[in-house]
Structures are given as C-alpha cells and as structure tokens.
C-alpha cells in the first residue's frame, strides 16, 4: 500500500464579532460578525484560493461567528460543498460572570490587575455565571445534554479542545485531508499550544488575529512543522 502523505491544517479565528467591536466579554454567548468581520472572512477565503490551500474537510464550533466565518471563507474559495462538523468543544472559552460586561468598565470596577488575571491567567477562571442570569445558556437547545460550564480558565478550555482534536481532527490529517478549523481565540490557542509546544506561561500572551489563516504541515510521523501565516507563504 502507498504511504499516505499527511494533510495540512488551517486554523482561522472568526472575523471581528459584534462584541469584539463593543469591547465586551463574549465567551459562549452567541453574537454575529460585523461588516469588517465578514470582509476578514472573505479575505481569508480568497487567500486560501490564491495560495492553492483548498480545504477538503471543515470543523467549527456551535457559535454563529465561527460558523459564518467558515462559510464565507469557503464560499470565497469555492469549497462550500466540503463536509463540515460542528462541535461545542471548539467553542470559545466560557467567561462566566464576566459575559456581556464591558471590558473597560470591568477594569474600573475590579482593577486592571484582577481583570488581567481573569483574562490571561492560565489556570484561574473568572467568577462563575449565575444560574438563570441573562447570559445563562443551560437552556439553549444547541447545548442539550451538555454540561455547560459556569466559567473556564484557558487550562479548562484546553482540557476539552485537545482531546477533541486528537480524537476527531488529527486522524483526518493523518489520512491526508486538508482540514480547516474555524474557531475562537482561546480554542485556537489550545491547538497552537499543543502543536507548537508552547509553555503554560507563554501561551497566555499569544495573540491570534481575526481572519488570518495559520497553517501547519506535518511530517510522516504526524509531527507538526513550524506554524506560519498563509499571507506570509
């Protein structure tokens, strides 16, 4: 039998969302993308087409901003027809009781240092969301049968994203698929941390820009090469 050539992984953070623009903590709350976000998604798809990196399989979260970004990018590169898998484990980190709050007002109320810890600490989650509050998603039909977290640290986010990657996505890469994952800043941080062997301390400072495809290629033993932005290829 011929040896399979491992596939290519493309990671895309959703285009600018309505709450990115409003500077609010979003997490699992479902918001759309802005006009700028739509343009970022289309630009990502055009880049995929121009560089000849054409996805054969797609994964995304259950959140509109990631799904919409995926569809706009795939439309732009003529790949809307490829198989697509949606899973909650690719959702953004759950910001708990911070969900919906204005980030600057939260800094003024709790102090810059405390908010920085909530946002950038590896293993300290924000305050839990209150049951029955405006942003409580426990009754959302898309999460039926799922224990919606009350809040997550980056560490907890990794603990759901990484096993899903290893179970669902990595085997497809090993089969030679070109996989696109349209997700979120923290769920993608989880993947980059694993694939690029980034320490717990350093990963919290890694910024993943919206709408900029990140590419990983793999050797025959499924070891990831150096990541790069597709615009730089």
Q: Which residues are annotated as catalytic?
A: 14, 92
**Coil, strand or helix at 37:** helix
Structure token digits, residue 1: 């039998």
- Rounded to whole angstroms, the Cα distance separating 86 from 90 reads 8
Structure token digits, residue 207: 């910024």
Q: Residue 10: count other Cβ atoms within 10 Å of its Cβ.
A: 23
Alpha-carbon distances of 151 from 88, 94, 132, 157, 227, rounded to whole Å: 15, 5, 14, 10, 30
According to DSSP, residue 29 is labeled: S
Phi and psi at residue 35, in whole multiples of 5°? -60, -40
DSSP 116-169: HHHHH-SS---PPPPTTSTT--TT-GGGTTS---S---HHHHHHHHHHHIIIII
Report which of 57, 84, 52, 55 is spatially closest to residue 68, judged by C-alpha positions.
84
Q: Do the beta carbons of residue 173 and residue 147 sit within 8 Å?
A: no
- Rounded to whole angstroms, the Cα distance separating 90 from 11 reads 12
């Amino acid at each position: 039998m011929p040896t399979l050539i491992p596939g290519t992984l493309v990671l895309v953070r959703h285009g600018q969302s309505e709450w990115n623009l409003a500077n609010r903590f979003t997490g699992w709350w479902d918001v759309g993308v802005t006009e700028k976000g739509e343009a970022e998604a289309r630009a990502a798809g055009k880049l995929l087409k121009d560089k000849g990196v054409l996805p054969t399989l797609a994964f995304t979260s259950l959140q509109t901003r990631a799904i919409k970004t995926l569809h706009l990018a795939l439309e732009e590169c003529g790949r809307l027809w490829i198989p697509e898998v949606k899973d909650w484990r690719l959702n953004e980190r759950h910001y708990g009781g911070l969900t919906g709050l204005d980030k600057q007002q939260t800094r003024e109320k709790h102090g810059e240092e405390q908010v920085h810890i909530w946002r950038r600490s590896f293993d300290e989650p924000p305050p839990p969301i209150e049951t029955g509050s405006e942003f409580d998603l426990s009754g959302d039909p898309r999460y039926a049968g799922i224990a919606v977290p009350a809040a997550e640290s980056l560490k907890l986010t990794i603990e759901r994203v990484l096993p899903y990657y290893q179970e669902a996505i990595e085997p497809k890469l090993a089969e030679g698929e070109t996989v696109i994952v349209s997700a979120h800043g923290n769920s993608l941080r989880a993947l980059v941390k694993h694939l690029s062997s980034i320490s717990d301390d350093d990963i919290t400072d890694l910024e993943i820009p919206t709408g900029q495809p990140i590419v990983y290629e793999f050797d025959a033993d499924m070891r990831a090469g150096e990541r790069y932005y597709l615009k730089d290829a």
